[in-house]
């Protein structure tokens, strides 16, 4: 339950920190830290206009997406506080709960009958497909290191070992998770949330028909997904044996560091050409596979001749 509470609290701050970072680096005053929340409050007060060509799928997709992310958070521990739900194989449950939300958003885009939204749905499905191996290689390696297939037990067992290779793999895990976070939240260099050219949009073109309350729910879901990956990064880096005060302080530092990192990337890096995104996503999976081989060697489960 602690994971849900801190996710909701820090989801308020994450997008604002990104905006402030980009404003400072651009040398302008820019919007305030809570501007995204003000935008959400405006959307929540607006009604929704729904096309007559859509079905019930279009209406339920935003709620299904939000519910899937909240269910995924339930299996994530926070430091000494265990996950609300924990069972063997919950790493697979976590991945596919996030996939369920994305699936509903994709078929909702197709439900509109728009060629542009269908194009965005096609790209979103492809990017998710190419990112999935990186995540499963990563958590599979963590499971192999600890001997567990539950997040609760994995993060407990990760720091129970005295082997120095744990630090090496933790650093590699942070890098891979940060890259996956960028892709899953449709940010640069794969997608640009600020673009207005439909031919180069991915996520934004999928939600063109949404407005008002439904669009606010979609944005809230996106903000929560940032915190989901922040929780994973935090759990990989910080032992649960540290005091509660340090835990909360370091989690706040993790969230702000990731948000600042996203702001820096979007300030200084151009968006990839659409044709280059496939190679970029394969690179993330290749790094995850490299980390897997490194762990096999360091744990002497594979010998190099």
Q: What is the pLDDT of residues 121-180, one digit of tens each?
A: 999 999 999 999 999 999 988 888 888 999 999 988 887 766 566 777 888 889 999 999
Query: Average pLDDT of 235-257?
Result: 88
* Whole-number CA gyration radius for the chain: 19
d(CA 192, CA 302): 41
Supply the pLDDT for residue 35.
92
Considering the entire predicted model, what is its pTM?
Answer: 0.92
Annotated domain spans of the chain: 2-298
Note if the bond before 100 is cis, omega within 30 degrees. Answer: no
Task: Tell me what the mean pLDDT of segment 34-41 comes to.
Answer: 92
CA distance 302 to 305: 10
* CA 235 to chain centroid: 15
- b/e per residue 2-26 (b: at least 16 CB within 10 A): bbbebbeebbbbbbbbbbbbbbeee
Residue 196 has pLDDT above 90, yes or no: no
pLDDT tens-digit profile of 98-116? 999 999 999 999 999 888 8
What average pLDDT does the segment 273-280 reach? Answer: 88
pLDDT value at residue 52: 85
């Amino acid at each position: 339950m602690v994971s849900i509470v801190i996710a909701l609290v820090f989801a308020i701050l994450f997008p604002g920190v990104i905006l402030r970072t980009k404003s400072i680096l651009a040398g302008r005053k820019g919007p305030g830290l809570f501007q995204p929340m003000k935008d959400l409050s405006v959307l929540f007060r607006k009604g929704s206009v729904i096309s007559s060509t859509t079905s019930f799928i279009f209406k339920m997709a935003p709620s299904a997406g939000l519910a899937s992310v909240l269910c995924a958070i339930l299996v994530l521990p926070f430091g000494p506080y265990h996950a609300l739900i924990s069972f063997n194989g919950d790493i697979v449950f976590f991945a596919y709960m996030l996939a369920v939300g994305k699936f509903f958003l994709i078929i909702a885009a197709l439900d509109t009958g728009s060629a542009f939204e269908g194009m965005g749905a096609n790209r979103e499905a492809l990017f998710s497909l190419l990112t999935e191996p990186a995540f499963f290689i990563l958590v599979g390696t963590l499971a192999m290191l600890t001997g567990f297939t539950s997040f609760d037990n994995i993060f407990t067992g990760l720091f129970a070992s005295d082997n120095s290779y744990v630090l090496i793999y933790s650093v590699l895990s942070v890098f891979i998770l940060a890259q996956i976070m960028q892709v899953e939240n449709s940010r640069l260099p794969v997608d640009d949330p600020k673009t207005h050219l439909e031919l180069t949009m991915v996520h934004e073109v999928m939600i063109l028909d949404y407005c008002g309350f439904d669009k606010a729910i979609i944005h809230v879901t996106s903000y929560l997904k940032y915190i989901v990956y922040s929780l994973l990064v935090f759990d990989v880096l910080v032992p649960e044996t540290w005091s509660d005060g340090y835990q909360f302080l370091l989690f706040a530092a993790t969230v702000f560091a990731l948000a600042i990192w996203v702001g820096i990337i979007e300030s200084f890096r151009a968006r990839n050409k659409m044709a280059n995104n496939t190679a970029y996503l394969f690179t993330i999976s290749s790094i995850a596979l490299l980390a897997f081989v490194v762990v096999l060697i360091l744990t002497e489960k594979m010998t190099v001749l």
